[in-house]
Amino acid sequence: MKIKSLVISALASSLILTQLVPTMAQNPLLQPFNTPHQTPPYAQIKAEHFMPAMQEAMKQGRAEIAQITDNTAPPTFDNTIVALERAGDLMSRISPILFHLNGAETTPDIQKTVREISPLLTEYGNDIQLNEKLFARVKAVWDQRAKLKLDTEGAMLLEKTYKGFARNGADLNEANKAKLREINKELSLLSIKFSENNLAETNAFALEITDEKDLAGLPEFVKEGAKSTAKKMNKQGWVFTLQAPSYGPFMQYAENRELRKKLWTAYNRRGFNGDKYDNQETIQKLVKLRYEKAKLLGYQTWAHYVLEDRMAETPEKVMEFENNVLGYAKTAAERELKELTDYAKKNGFTENVLQRWDASFYAEKLKKEKYDINDEVLKPYFKLENVLDGLFTLTNKLYGLTFKENKSIPVWHPDVRAYEIFDEKGQLLSVWYGDYFPREGKRAGAWNNTTRQQYFDNGTDIRPHVVNVCNFSKPTETKPSLLTFREVETLFHEFGHALHSMMSHVKYETVSGTSVSWDFVELPSQFMENFCTEPEVLKLFAKHYQTGEVIPNALIEKIKASSNFMSGVGVSRQINLGLIDMAWHYAVPNGESVAVLEKRIAEKTDLYPIIEGTAQSTAFGHLFAGGYSAGYYSYMWSSVLDADAFEAFKEKGVFNKDVAKSFRDNVLSKGGTEKPMVLYKRFRGREPKPEAMLRRDGLMIAQ
């Protein structure tokens, strides 16, 4: 059953059929998608279409569940597990579209629709997962699993189906099921509220500059972008926002320290301003409810509940892992910060301690002095279209893929580009969308989304629809979109997630593509970042946007030499975020405030002074509006995997087709059909070695 595409929580209401009938014939969500590859007809879809369409999808889904529970034949794998997997097809088609739009192109009407629909979806999911008759049939099949002689994928589907029920309250008594329903309902609504508050706070702030002297230090590309933003907002001068393409360069280059402080403070006060968008109370409620849900289901804490089904297995193992990496990273970070502080003092900094709004500014200058390289030097070589072409060429060399833009595929915004991706035999592998520029209705950050999963339907291979969303600088009147090197890595990262979905070749949607253990899901994405520093890969796409000159070897050497610049600080920050996550979820909630909790973690991990009145948790969407609660450690965990995996390519050559085929066959195409470590060992021939990450990130010499 494709419950994973639902948001979990609330009281279902049902529309009378006669209310639905007049709408159904005109509702594009309820008609066949007469578009290339049955892609969503975004131009025809309006917010008001979703409620009646979802009501109909829930009606059909409930009927399909009833067919399973009313079946008088003894429960079998086919008539129960596979039938459950096939139920809810209409819901699986519609709900991903709604939640994709709510992230990439939301409006007040879509936000209102999500708030209204999410409780209904939660209750719909509850009605399935808490259905006694259905669980009895699932358990009957589970109990006879040793006799069924299922193949590997079938055995995994059975295990995930059974555990999906068992871990979501199917064994609870009626009173506790009722409690669980209410908890799920409130969790859903609180996550939506958190996300909406975050978006509102991000959009609300604008740093307006009218005196050109306040732009001192900013490269021309940054000033041009700010001028364009001001023009769109009908403002005079230059405007800087909290969106990454605006915020990041300002913090790196602006000489006006007070303005850096102002922008940094605004960014780090999101959701922490004591106003109607404040997220502190929302966090407390979320954490408390997650703990109550875990206890109700028989677990010690939310972290114990989440991690039972992950590679790490226990919070104790996560804490050991995080603290071990911190031991290497913090030693390196202390050395790096001393070097940065000494450099700053030699260059006019008069205080004893660098503040957080000084870090990027002086790091950029120090990097330029040490390696004669910075974003201003590199950006002309990283025109977005060229980087995409290089990414396409790389995946062609590795996996034989070809890309063809298809402008007849509907998109949700004119900036979006849609492609058909074909395999080495010329067969359609996937539809892929790239959405790369910030706008008001789009949340910050970068992510991958799959609006249709790959699976087999009666022998037909249903190919996926995959979306990459980023927030890069838009083209201006005089320049194309030019990426920083970190943005190049981000583009490769998200495309790694996309490849995981595109390459999927499994029978069942439940184990398709990125439907894997959360601490394994970042392997394909982080793995792709490794290619960005390889000379033979850079030469595929790093071409000066004006002259066409391929990036010179001297610059490539500088990229390589600087690749571990401030890596100790960067890894320490990731550990800090992971420990904040565990502090919220590997504990009994006691009402500890956001400020107190974060200070407690910062004293262990941070080297910069703590700034009162700012917070990270209140805008930490991964934890409170995404799927990373008790799982943020996954990024560092996957770093061990991806560094070790890439060493296999380094050993044989970065374009080695045999290694690429093994990675595709054993990791990318398998989804969640087997345990992650089994898949990894089949690719690598052994378990991953942490030393690969320490070597790559320059941390081996730290102790």
- In the predicted model, what is the mean pLDDT of residues 450-478? 95
If pLDDT is split at 50, 70 and 90, which confidence band does 444 have?
A: confident
186 in a structural domain: no
CATH assignment of the domain containing 487:
1.10.1370.40
Q: Which two tokens stand for residue 659?
A: 């290694």
176 in a structural domain: no
Q: Using one digit for the tens of pLDDT, what is the confidence trace for 332-362?
A: 999 999 999 999 999 999 998 999 999 999 9
If pLDDT is split at 50, 70 and 90, which confidence band does 627 have?
A: confident
192 in a structural domain: no
Pair (316, 294) in one structural domain? yes
Whole-number Å distance between alpha carbons of 392 and 502? 14
Q: Using one digit for the tens of pLDDT, what is the confidence trace for 9-35?
A: 332 222 233 344 345 678 999 999 999
Answer yes or no: are the C-beta atoms of 204 and 135 closer than 8 Å: no
Using the Cα atoms of residue 458, residue 463, residue 469 and residue 474 in order, give the sign of their dihedral. Answer: negative
Whole-number Å distance between alpha carbons of 464 and 684? 27
Pair (473, 399) in one structural domain? yes
* Residues carrying an active site annotation: 494
The 8-class DSSP code of residue 278 comes to -
- In the predicted model, what is the mean pLDDT of residues 268-276? 97
Pair (545, 644) in one structural domain? yes
Half-sphere exposure of 682 (CA within 13 A, CB side): 15
251 in a structural domain: yes
Pair (333, 209) in one structural domain? no
Q: Using one digit for the tens of pLDDT, what is the confidence trace for 106-165?
A: 999 999 999 999 999 999 999 999 999 999 999 999 999 999 999 999 999 999 999 999
Range of the domain at 570: 280-373+566-632
- In the predicted model, what is the mean pLDDT of residues 681-701? 90
Pair (430, 347) in one structural domain? no
Q: Using one digit for the tens of pLDDT, what is the confidence trace for 653-680?
A: 999 999 999 999 999 999 999 999 999 9
- In the predicted model, what is the mean pLDDT of residues 438-444? 90
pLDDT at 383 over 90: yes
Q: What is the pLDDT of the chain when averaged over all its residues?
A: 94
pLDDT at 527 over 80: yes
Pair (285, 322) in one structural domain? yes
Pair (419, 302) in one structural domain? no
If pLDDT is split at 50, 70 and 90, which confidence band does 2 have?
A: low
pLDDT at 265 over 70: yes
How distant, in Å, are the alpha carbons of 67, 125, 557 from that of 61?
10, 10, 57
187 in a structural domain: no
If pLDDT is split at 50, 70 and 90, which confidence band does 45 have?
A: very high
Q: Which residue's entry shows tokens 């058909």? A: 420
Using the Cα atoms of residue 435, residue 440, residue 446 and residue 448 in order, give the sign of their dihedral. Answer: negative
Phi, psi dihedral angles at 182 (to 5 degrees): -65, -40
Pair (612, 652) in one structural domain? no
Q: Using one digit for the tens of pLDDT, what is the confidence trace for 569-580?
A: 999 999 999 999
pTM recorded for the entire structure: 0.88
pLDDT at 320 over 60: yes
Last residue of a domain, one of 576, 598, 632: 632
pLDDT at 635 over 80: yes
- In the predicted model, what is the mean pLDDT of residues 69-85? 98
The 8-class DSSP code of residue 310 comes to S
195 in a structural domain: no
Tell me what pLDDT residue 10 has.
Answer: 30
Q: Which two tokens stand for residue 355?
A: 């503040």
Tell me what pLDDT residue 159 has.
Answer: 97
CATH assignment of the domain containing 311:
1.10.1370.10
365 in a structural domain: yes
Helices 132-143 and 152-166 cross at an angle (nearest 10°) of 140
Pair (77, 131) in one structural domain? yes
pLDDT at 541 over 80: yes
Looking at the structure of the chain, the number of domains it has is: 4
Tell me what pLDDT residue 685 has.
Answer: 96
Q: Using one digit for the tens of pLDDT, what is the confidence trace for 409-440?
A: 999 999 999 999 999 999 999 999 999 999 98
348 in a structural domain: yes
pLDDT at 645 over 50: yes
Last residue of a domain, one of 604, 632, 660: 632
Pair (209, 286) in one structural domain? no
Pair (496, 481) in one structural domain? yes
- In the predicted model, what is the mean pLDDT of residues 206-210? 97
H helices of 421-566, where? 485-502, 523-529, 535-541, 553-561
Pair (331, 385) in one structural domain? no
